[in-house]
Amino acid sequence: MGLNVLKVFGLSAFAFFLAMSLTPILTHYLYKYKMWKKIARIKALGGGEAVIFNQLHKDKEVGTPRMGGILIWLSALLMAFVFFLLSRIFPSALTEKINFLSRGQTWLPLFTLVSASLIGLVDDILQIYGKGKYMAGGISLMKRIAMVIILGAIGAYWFYAKLEVSSIAIPFFGNINLGLFFIPLFIIMMLAMFSGGVIDGIDGLSGGIFAAIFSAYGGIAFFQNQIDLAAFCGIIVGGILAFLWFNIPPARFYMGETGILGLTTALTVVAFLTESVVVLPIIAFPLIAASGSDIIQIFSKKYLGRKVFKVAPIHHHFEALGWPPYKVTMRFWVISTILAVVGMVIALVGK
């Protein structure tokens, strides 16, 4: 138990300090090369002018660097590489224990995190330096969705063919075998989490929410004795908290697509690995609420001719109502933490 605690919490703390030490280097280059959008968002997701959004965030969007999410996935990748090498160069009980890379628990989430983050990095770079159709827009939404589908298909195949998983666990009920239907379900859940990436819209908001979500799944993994996976989640939390240190108002940089895309896709993999995907909508409710409000707004404007929210996603709606950004952020943090705990309890008690 002692070594398990050291592995999970020790590596989490190490990830925090590692990411903090990388920040001056990252910040130097982000500001030196002016890695922020050159023009603010003009169009709303559902069409029309983004008038209210520009009133709220125009100045910040064009003056604050993107790609702060590099801290999160780079620190996780470096730690995986370093501790794996230590276990091979200096084999011992301790180094073997601290190495958290394992085929059944962390290969897939780490691959997903890094692959999706690199795709997001390309999108961020195109939004910063792109010309023509890429200016301020980056990779088109449909192309990003296609890439997420491909990543989801790879993940689903790994679960189905390599790990021989084709069922999901329903708390207090038991397992339901889905057969081949497991594959489309996996892809749909990854797309759903990806759509929740719109939560990254206010200083500090996404960092606090993702820290609560991955903490909950780290707890689930720990109590299920998936120690490598729990360590992976803890490392992600450590990187997120280092990012959050510099993202609280006024933000030094934003997470960008390189952070959001990596975290949302890796989250899906972690949820399936812990056999607790059913509680994912509870634990990740703020992501669901953000994407859901966008969907409701687009549908209402197109078919009913009116808006449900002053502006979507919903966190911007509260800003438009007059809430200070810090109040929106902190109240979302509270909601996220409570629901993360509730989801974790349901997942563990319902086994």
Task: Enumerate the β-bridge partners of residue 177.
Answer: 167
pLDDT tens column, 278-333: 999 999 999 999 999 999 998 998 888 888 998 889 998 999 899 999 999 999 99
Percent of the chain with pLDDT over 90: 72
pLDDT tens sequence across 179-211: 999 999 999 999 999 999 999 889 999 999 999
Q: Measured in whole angstroms, how far is the alpha carbon of residue 37 from the centre of its chain?
A: 21
Q: Which range of residues forms the domain containing residue 89?
A: 2-349
Q: pLDDT higher for 38 or 235?
A: 235
pLDDT at 182 (0 to 100): 96
Residue 137 has pLDDT above 70, yes or no: no
Residue 154: per-residue pLDDT: 95
Residue 131 has pLDDT above 70, yes or no: no
Q: What is the DSSP letter of 251?
A: P
Range in 17-21, 134-138, 142-146, 327-331 with the lowest mean pLDDT: 134-138
pLDDT score recorded for residue 49: 54
**pLDDT, mean of residues 216-242:** 97
Residue 132 has pLDDT above 60, yes or no: no
DSSP, residue by residue, 139-202: S-HHHHHHHHHHHHHHHHHIIIIIS---EEEETTTEEEE-GGGHHHHHHHHHHHHHHGGGGTTS
List CB contacts of 174: < 8 A, sequence separation 6 or more. Answer: none
Contacts of 184 (CB under 8 A, 6+ apart): 156
Q: What is the pTM of this model?
A: 0.94
CB-based contact 274:83 (threshold 8 Å): no
Query: Phi/psi at 305 (nearest 5 deg)?
Result: 75, 20
Structurally, the chain folds into a number of domains equal to 1
Which distant-in-sequence residues (6+ apart) come within 8 Å of 338 by Cβ? none
- How high does pLDDT run on average in the chain? 90
Q: What is the mean pLDDT of residues 346-351?
A: 90
The residues near 181 (Cβ < 8 Å, ≥ 6 apart) are none
